[in-house]
């Protein structure tokens, strides 16, 4: 039973997922987030444990290469080169037609909402939508009445989609009915900053709980605390940071949650639709980030970059060495200035001055290591476009698709199409409507690899010309990269090509066989380059 003390607690699986998400969240947040993560992702060396300022200085000199965030961006950009299309969208009821252009009642078009969902799907493995409808009642004094239709239209009272980031989901539960698992409860967290009329800022935390029977909204105002920008604890770890995150939303005796609103759920189901493309275990709401390996590789990039920049900082400037210096120079009482226009004079004939520089061997090794990491990051970022999975998410779809395959990204887009279809179905349920029989959601899926991989096409063409690969392999590689559509039958294309007539350039006039060069019958053609004196008499 949810109450003021338990409403903000995390599901045990949610705590475990936070460990991975701390890493992906940091690399997506860029340089600032990686620096703020401090020792959780950037450990101190022995010297820095003694001199904390040196650690802070090294972080300030380190800049993140955004490999992970760029990979997510490339995945999200591909399907939305064209807007989301609705088949038979004109046949929808008016309140559902409005979802295409304003799906959240905040002027967000459906295509933009789909982008957010795919971004969350590629980043966390999960995409979620809450399908809700505002209350249709009006308080008039001590009585409550149902809104009239004109009042609903004026207030834009209709079903809408609310984007739910998986990080906002705190807890959930399932029940089983006839062997089918059904979501029976979910709690969704939100935190915002509010400023009152006196200019005082306060943090407001809310948790909305949905069950099959009702919904409730809980709220609390915790003390405003400013997080330390750079954790300096050498013992800090990702596990500890994840544990702190779970504690941050939990109620305390001095700061409990208070119930501020509640109501009945007329649908009889929890109005949340979701898709899990990277399921971890048996719980449908437990996922592992699909590009987790790339995220850790990006952390490796950050650490090597940090070591390289630190190495260059200390060894990039030559050291001045003075031998046979006078006492005032040696003991530091006489400052030594060097640089452009500077001069050091001495009456000691044995005095010598020279610069000593490091060989740069360590920096060279770090640079080579960094180059290899960048190549690995590129391959991991392109992997979702390359790896093939069976097309179709249902038995019927797979049977219809036959042996056709698609990339992982294309399969994610297909999952997103089904998810949006389910969202429209849930919205229709709020309005006691039925979706048109031919209604469907279509997202562009006929795409290939990002632009940076198009150089592969030249290599494939060269390999085919040199007969290093077969025609079938060449065509399948083109199809994998989106140059050929999924509907193209490779075997049929090969058969058609073999049955084609010779090209026009290969045909002689009137289909006649090639004629011998001019000359007398029975005699070989004359070589024009031969010496006339060597020609036998006629």
Convert the pLDDT of each residue in 485-513 to its tens digit.
767 888 888 888 888 766 555 555 554 55
Higher pLDDT pick, 241 / 191:
191
Q: Which of 136, 128, 141 is nearest to 152 (CA)?
A: 136
- Read off the pLDDT band of 403 (50, 70, 90): very low
402 pLDDT band (50/70/90 cuts)?
very low
Strand partners, 195: 201
| Exposed / middle / buried, residue 154 (Cβ in 10 Å: 0-12, 13-18, 19+) | exposed
* 153 or 126, greater pLDDT: 126
265 pLDDT tier (thresholds 50, 70, 90) = very high
For 229, residues 6+ apart whose C-beta sits below 8 A from its C-beta are 35, 36
Residue 401 banded pLDDT, cuts 50, 70, 90 = very low
* DSSP single-letter state for residue 469: S
Question: Which residue matches tokens 């040696």?
Answer: 330
456 closest CA partner among 434, 481, 439: 481
- Report pLDDT for 394: 44
- Which has more confidence, 130 or 510? 130
What pLDDT is attached to residue 153?
74
What value does the mean pLDDT take over residues 181-196?
A: 93
pLDDT at 298 over 60: yes
Residue 311 confidence (pLDDT):
78
- Is residue 189 predicted with pLDDT exceeding 80? yes
In a 3-state reduction of DSSP, which class is residue 534? helix
Question: Per-residue pLDDT for 343 more than 70?
Answer: no
> What local confidence, expressed as pLDDT, does residue 297 receive?
97
Question: Is residue 331 very low, low, confident or very high in pLDDT (cuts 50, 70, 90)?
Answer: low
pTM score: 0.76
- Kindly indicate the confidence band of residue 412, based on its pLDDT and cuts at 50, 70 and 90: very high
Give pLDDT, residue 399: 43
Give dist(CA 183, CA 212) in Å, integer: 8
In whole angstroms, what is the distance from residue 408 CA to residue 446 CA?
13
Token pair for 107: 């002027």
Query: Poorest-confidence range of 79-88, 154-163, 359-368, 388-397?
Result: 388-397
What rounded mean pLDDT belongs to the chain?
83
Closest CA to 449 of 375, 380, 376, 384: 384
The residues facing 209 across adjacent strands are 187, 216
């Amino acid at each position: 039973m949810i109450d003021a003390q338990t409403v903000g607690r995390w599901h045990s699986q949610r705590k475990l997922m936070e460990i991975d998400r701390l890493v992906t969240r940091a690399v997506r947040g860029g340089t600032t987030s990686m620096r703020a993560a401090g020792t959780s992702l950037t450990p101190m060396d022995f010297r820095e444990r003694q001199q904390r300022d040196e650690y802070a200085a090294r972080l300030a000199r380190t800049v993140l290469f955004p490999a992970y965030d760029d990979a997510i961006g490339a995945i999200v950009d591909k399907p939305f080169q064209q807007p989301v299309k609705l088949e038979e969208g004109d046949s929808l009821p008016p309140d559902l037609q409005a979802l295409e252009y304003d799906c959240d009642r905040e002027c967000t078009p459906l295509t933009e909402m789909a982008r957010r969902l795919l971004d969350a799907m590629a980043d966390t493995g999960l995409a979620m939508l809450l399908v809700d409808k505002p209350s249709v009642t009006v308080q008039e004094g001590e009585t409550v009445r149902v809104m009239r239709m004109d009042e609903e239209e004026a207030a834009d009272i209709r079903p809408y989609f609310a984007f739910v980031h998986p990080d906002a989901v705190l807890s959930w539960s399932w029940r089983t009915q006839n062997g089918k698992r059904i979501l029976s409860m979910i709690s969704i967290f939100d935190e915002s900053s509010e400023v009152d009329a006196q200019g005082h800022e306060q943090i407001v935390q809310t948790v909305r709980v949905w069950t099959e029977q009702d919904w409730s909204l809980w709220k609390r105002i915790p003390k405003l605390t400013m997080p330390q920008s750079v954790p300096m604890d050498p013992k800090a770890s990702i596990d500890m940071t994840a544990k702190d995150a779970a504690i941050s939303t939990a109620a305390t005796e001095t700061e409990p949650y208070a119930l501020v609103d509640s109501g009945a759920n007329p649908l009889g189901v929890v109005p949340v639709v979701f898709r899990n493309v990277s399921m971890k275990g048996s719980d449908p709401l437990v996922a592992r980030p699909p590009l987790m390996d790339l995220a850790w590789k990006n952390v490796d990039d950050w650490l090597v970059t940090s070591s390289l920049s630190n190495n260059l900082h200390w060894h990039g400037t030559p050291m001045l060495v003075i031998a046979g210096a006078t006492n005032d120079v040696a003991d530091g009482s006489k400052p030594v200035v060097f640089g452009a226009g500077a001069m050091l004079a001495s009456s000691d004939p044995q005095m010598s001055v020279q610069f000593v520089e490091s060989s740069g061997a360590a920096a060279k090794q770090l640079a080579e290591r960094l180059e290899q990491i960048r190549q690995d990051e590129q391959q991991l970022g392109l992997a979702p476009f390359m790896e093939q999975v069976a097309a179709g998410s249902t038995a019927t779809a797979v049977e219809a698709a036959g042996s056709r395959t698609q990339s992982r990204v294309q399969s994610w887009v297909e999952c997103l199409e089904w998810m949006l279809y389910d969202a429209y179905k849930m919205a229709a349920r709020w309005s006691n409507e039925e979706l048109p029989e031919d209604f469907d959601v279509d997202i562009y899926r006929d795409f290939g690899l990002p632009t940076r991989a198009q150089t592969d096409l030249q290599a494939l063409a060269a390999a085919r010309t040199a007969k290093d690969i077969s025609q079938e392999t060449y065509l399948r590689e083109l199809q994998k990269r989106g140059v050929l559509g999924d509907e193209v039958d490779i075997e049929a294309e090969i058969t058609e090509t073999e049955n084609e007539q010779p090209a026009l350039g290969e045909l002689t006039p009137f289909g006649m066989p090639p004629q011998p060069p001019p000359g007398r019958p029975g005699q070989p053609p004359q070589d024009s380059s031969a010496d006339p004196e060597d020609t036998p008499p006629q």
